[in-house]
Structure 1
Amino acid sequence: MMVRNRKSSILRDALKSKGLVKVAGAHDGLSAKLAEKNGFNAIWASGLGISAVQTVPDASILTMTEFLEAAVIMNESCNLPVIADCDSGYGNIHNVTRMIKKYEVSGIAGVCIEDKVYPKLNSFDDRQQLLVSTEEFCEKIRAAKMAQQNDDFVLIARVEALIAKLGQQEAYTRAKAYVQAGADAILIHSKERSPDEIVEFVNNWDVDAPLVVVPTKYPTLSMEQLEELGVKVSIYANQALRASVKAINDTFESIINNKSSLQIEKEIVSVKEIFDIQEVPEMKQLERLVHKQPAT
């Protein structure tokens, strides 16, 4: 008997609803909470972001447990469903099975696995990108779907054929096979600065499964255009991470160069705003309510 999870249900309903699902890449609880505050529909627990926070390459260096712990923190920090970037599934079908069980029981709404070899390279790495066979990846998808207990838990299959320069036909063939194997959605990825190959793929897609894109390299393609094309989900996977690095760098550089933090005080948030994000006012309210109660 299948069980249900509220956040998985929210994500599943979003995939079935009209309009573009806007997903923010996050790397910690703070970035997840700010994404919710600014109107995103879901969180992408970014493998790049989580790796960057620990200053290691996005190349399967961290363990599944480390990625899961980071995703759980994001999940607990906001009310949005979390989609976890799970690389190539951390190994073979047995690793995928364990991964699904762990992520699902932890309250994560869905996961995304990609058809690259393990360990993987980040898609924007300029070294050769190696993919597993279509059948091997279909086996991972089937194993994942057999392992899940929550009927609404979402499995996104990420197709890296365009990243690996294998062409449109290979990308389409793989994507169609992944849907037949049980994938709930297809993430088609590209690192071309022009959106042309993504547009071509989307226009040729005639399978009844939602499409997910990551417009990092082709930001000229707006949300309105993606929706008109029929794309269901757009993931802004690393913009918050890149913005954070720049902001922190600029702040520290200013302090050192000016021998004071005075120059940047007007450009940064107040400590009160940090307290508000941390829900310090709610903490104080609870203390007031509790202190009114008679001692027991």
Structure 2
Amino acid sequence: MQRLKGIDDLEELTSITNCERRKTLRQVLQSKQCLRIIEAHSPISAMIAEKTRVMVNDDCLAYDGFWCSSLTDSLLQAKPDIEILDVNFRLKNIHNIFDVTTKPMIYDADTGGKIEHLIHDVRALERAGVSMIVIEDKTGLKKNSLLGNDVEQKQDDIESFCEKISMAKKSQNTQEFMVAARIESLILDKGLEDALIRADAYVNAGADAVLIHSRKRSGDEIMEFASRFRAIHPTVPLMCVPTSYSHLHYQELKDMGFNIIIYANHMMRSAISSMESVAKSILSEGCSEHIERDCISVKQALAFIPGTI
């Protein structure tokens, strides 16, 4: 199958300890200017992401790690995206992903919850081999950020969120574990100045990286944020999630000064689309012949996992 070229014959994965995996995100950040991170919601999606290689202008391109999305973890369980899944539940899926992959993971921690809970969550995720958690500066019942002000969302005050960052950093046991602060000012239409003030405060509170989030399609506001942030913090890793401004190329975002680009939900969204198409086709056509060309063969599926056949 042409669309699976390069990952049909999966080689045996090299084993890696949790400690070794946790260190790799900082190591890759030091060696590469900008990382590509993709959402993985299951072991098979993570294996596909890890093994995918594409040649572009004589460069072999690959993903640098995984994003553990609270949205896609919730969708996988057909649960509402309101922080309904606790860390222990999500950790089971992470352990299964880590069993068959080697790349580092960034964990979407939503608001981080109560500080008392966050402290224990940081330690559990760190022990499991997660490299970074991202906490967003909102409070109350979680609502998806891309809904913006169409739903009620409340941003945390700066002092309170700085305390959350500080306590998360104090609770970790290793130097390589990272805590990133996700700023929701642009999502909630509070403006660029508010976002920059918060970014400076969060870095001073100990955040290892800053994720600026935006739902505007043009990408202009994240470009301006990146420019002004870099003037103040030239070495702090800067992250973005280009779901709304998906037309912006990796190279453009890299040139703006972003160090980590997260493709946050595309593996799950494409899987849902494909499954819906297959289910509808079998019903409407009365047989599965018409969708066979869009599926790998059973033999390929069995061969996809090393040791199956």
TM-score in terms of structure 2 length: 0.86
Q: Which residue of 2 aligns with 1:70?
A: 93
Q: Which residue of 1 aligns with 2:163?
A: 139
Q: Which residue of 2 aligns with 1:271?
A: 298
Does the C-alpha gap of structure 1 residues 110 and 276 become closer, same or farther in structure 2, counting only changes over 3 Å?
farther
User: Within 5 A, what are the aligned runs for 1:184-263?
Assistant: 184-205=208-229, 206-207=232-233, 208-263=235-290
Query: Any conservation in 1 of the 2:182–2:211 contact (CA below 8 Å)?
Result: yes
**What is the distance in 2 between the residues matched to 1:130 and 1:100?**
24
Q: Which residue of 1 aligns with 2:74?
A: 51
Q: Give unmatched runs, 5+ long, in structure 1.
A: 285-296
Query: Any conservation in 1 of the 2:140–2:154 contact (CA below 8 Å)?
Result: no
Q: Which residue of 2 aligns with 1:170?
A: 194
**What is the distance in 2 between the residues matched to 1:227 and 1:145?**
27
**What is the distance in 1 between the residues matched to 2:133 and 2:303?**
30
Match of 2:117 among 95, 108, 126: 95
Ranges of 4+ aligned residues in structure 1 off by more than 3 Å: none
**What is the distance in 2 between the residues matched to 1:118 and 1:106?**
27
Deviation at 1:168, TM superposition (A): 0.5
Q: Which residue of 1 aligns with 2:57?
A: none
Deviation at 1:270, TM superposition (A): 1.6
- Aligned residue for 2:211, secondary structure, equals strand
**What is the distance in 2 between the residues matched to 1:136 and 1:72?**
32
Deviation at 1:209, TM superposition (A): 0.7
Deviation at 1:58, TM superposition (A): 1.2
**What is the distance in 2 between the residues matched to 1:124 and 1:55?**
19
Match of 2:138 among 116, 141, 146: 116
Q: Which residue of 1 aligns with 2:28?
A: 14
**What is the distance in 2 between the residues matched to 1:102 and 1:276?**
34
**What is the distance in 1 between the residues matched to 2:302 and 2:108?**
30
Q: Which residue of 2 aligns with 1:289?
A: none
Deviation at 1:6, TM superposition (A): 1.1
TM-score in terms of structure 1 length: 0.90
Residues 131-157 of structure 1, C-alpha deviation per residue, up to 9 Å, x if partnerless? 111111111111111111121112111
**What is the distance in 1 between the residues matched to 2:22 and 2:200?**
24
Query: Any conservation in 2 of the 1:25–1:235 contact (CA below 8 Å)?
Result: yes
Letter in 2 for 1:279: P
Query: Any conservation in 1 of the 2:22–2:126 contact (CA below 8 Å)?
Result: no
Deviation at 1:51, TM superposition (A): 0.4
Query: Any conservation in 2 of the 1:216–1:237 contact (CA below 8 Å)?
Result: yes
Percentage of pairs with the same residue:
36
* Pair 1:34 & 2:48 matched: yes
**What is the distance in 2 between the residues matched to 1:169 and 1:69?**
40
- Aligned residue for 1:192, secondary structure, equals coil
Deviation at 1:94, TM superposition (A): 0.9
Give the aligned CA root-mean-square deviation in angstroms: 1.4
- Aligned residue for 1:225, secondary structure, equals helix
- Aligned residue for 1:124, secondary structure, equals helix
Deviation at 1:63, TM superposition (A): 1.9
Residues 167-191 of structure 1, C-alpha deviation per residue, up to 9 Å, x if partnerless? 1111111111111111111010001
**What is the distance in 2 between the residues matched to 1:194 and 1:112?**
24
Q: Which residue of 2 aligns with 1:86?
A: 109
Q: Which residue of 2 aligns with 1:5?
A: 19
Figure out how many residues of one structure are paired with residues of the other and give that number.
278
**What is the distance in 2 between the residues matched to 1:131 and 1:137?**
9
- Aligned residue for 1:121, secondary structure, equals coil
